[in-house]
Structure 1
Amino acid sequence: MRALIISVDLGDPDFAAHAEEFAMLAKGAGAEIVGTLTARRDRPDAKFFIGSGKADEGVAMAQALLADIVLFDQPLSPAQQRNLERAFNLRVVDRVALILDIFALRAKSHEGKLQVELAQLQHLATRLTRMWSHLERQRGGIGMRGPGESQLEMDRRMIGAKVKVLRERLDKVERQRVTQRRARARGGALSVSLVGYTNAGKSTLFNALTRADSYAADQLFATLDTTTRRIWIEGAGSVVVSDTVGFIRDLPHGLIAAFRATLEETVHADLLLHVADAASPQRDEQIFEVNKVLAEIGAASIPTILVYNKIDLAGLEPRVERDAHGTIARVFVSATERAGLDALRGAIAETGQIVGNNAANYQTLQSE
């Protein structure tokens, strides 16, 4: 589809980088970007977010460029989205809906599809009134008061019932995952989860470590479904490695909640490998965003090794860095060039032994 992108700078010092990231999201959803409109504001306009003047400018651009859709790089309220769609006479998709669309496109497993559908329905529930506005049924109207209200409430009940069914199915999936984790724990295997900003190279690193063929691509959200492999690492023994969904700036809270079953693999890991793109100018911000989500899902206290990937693109050499206490803090690798992987395996083994000793000491204290 021919898409007009609208980005609003609300004083963001990294606005250009964030706008570029949104363009990648749009392309990942299959959009053909035919134009971009940027605006600067101190605060969002209550009616159009971008203000009436910029909205008029956007309408003219969309018409001149023969745009089929408008993509908005901010979350819109239902009222703002309704007003913009009336002004443009086109479908307007905000950041949240675009991310949901990409997740729907990428989900392959039964579990992943269930989680995406749940997130989409929860998002849709807040916008039912907007969907009915073209018939003015959300508030009734002459000749439509009764049926309109009834249809809206019927839709809400149907969505509520479907959400309940999806949650029950996901609860079943989660119980199965708990059983699998307990079985792995009884086997004494170290559990390692790869986390990181989307497109940091997690799946490529996962494949390099496990010699697997998990899907990896240079695109946002290439991996949605958790992939798990058991490997042997000298000094650590049997290690279960999981590749998980990537995070992104302003990841919708509803999406985090919907992907609870997938993210549980992260919460219950013994060790996290936080994979960061060493070549990205936004590296530090991306690390911060991932840490923010880890805190939100209750995984902030899990022992973590920060893995700087793509060092071949950043002009860096493979190495291991330790903190002031001598604990491994960072490992520099290139998954594509397979540089630094032995050092990473050694770091996993060393940190895994510390994790195991701490767990054993805790169990001893609990039994005393």
Structure 2
Amino acid sequence: MEPITGWWGAPAVAGGVRPVVPAGGSEVAAVRGLAVAPFSAAFSTVTIPAGTSPLAVAVAPNGNVYVGNANSSNVTVISSTTNTVLATVPAGSGPAMIAVAQNGNVYVTNQSSNNVTVISSATNTVLATVPVGGGPFALAVAPNGNVYVANSTSNNVTVISSATNTVLATVPVGAVPDAVAVAANGNVYVANRNANTVTVISSATNTVLTTLPTGGFPGAAAVAPNGNVYIANQTSNNVTVIDSATNTVVATVPAGTVPGVIAVAPNGNVYVTNTVSNNVTVIDSATNTVLATVPTGGGPFGVAVAPTGNVYVGNSSSNNVTVISSTTNTVLATVPVGAFPFSVAAAPNSNVYVTNANSANVTEISPLTVTTSPAAPVGGQR
């Protein structure tokens, strides 16, 4: 997958590597299969129909799974208990990313209509449509319930109250804000892709605290349990580490070629998908050193960590998912999925949901068995 600067970006918390996703038809049948691991784990899969070009995915506290369908301008709601479609909810034009507030409200950025659709996860109905800036893309929710929406073409952030679904503030940031992450102390970190900076916003005052330098084309952001903020820099092939207590850059860690998306395991390991070198860089958040480089399939992009600690990596060009143990940083399995797996999210019951952008469906993955036999080590140690 070639890194381009087109319309689409990554899910969940990151963006920037923007593959072109053509429109496609909807899948109409649910299929259960079995993916046998190359080592010691086995996983079952279910294929669930979605709309056209499903990209973003997020899970609400009640276990409902929300899938943004970019080319059909709606959201498919899936029960993580039954893996059936509960509802199809209208959204704006070009739903891009999804985040869920503490009260269960679901926020969907509509990049082509410059607004955010708010969905109740209790009723799966639209509560509000909130106007924002130009090209809204990434978003994240602060501990106080405020929702921060990065507007990629107007170079600002819209702050929405999840209590009232009204706009509280518009905060200026750098050029092409493309990723948002929130630390436990309430600081909001906005990666500005074309400015090579991160804007730090106080969620208490909705004002800019500072602007920090990064590497080239920062396009993904995530926060570790110790408060370190990790920014993936796509053209300099490294990760900037920011201390959220002091808002200073404390390290720059090498990654693979074109780092795409970041996820953090409960043990503090940081997983960075490298979309061109076809591997994942594992960073120790305690020392900010590379623990391992784990091989994946082709074009690894979306990544999520299940409650079990397993890390699921969607390989966009090989149409499969690499499952990595966050304990050993070894590959447990390679699971086939649909065409162009894009985003990954894990439900509280450890079911994992993968959006397949070019087959108009979602693959659910769940572990069947995990034996105690050791897995063979993979990846170089640095």
Same fold (TM over 0.5): no
TM-score under structure 1 length normalisation: 0.26
User: Hey, which of these two has a bigger chunk of strand by percent?
Assistant: 2
User: Hey, which of these two has a bigger chunk of helix by percent?
Assistant: 1
TM-score under structure 2 length normalisation: 0.25
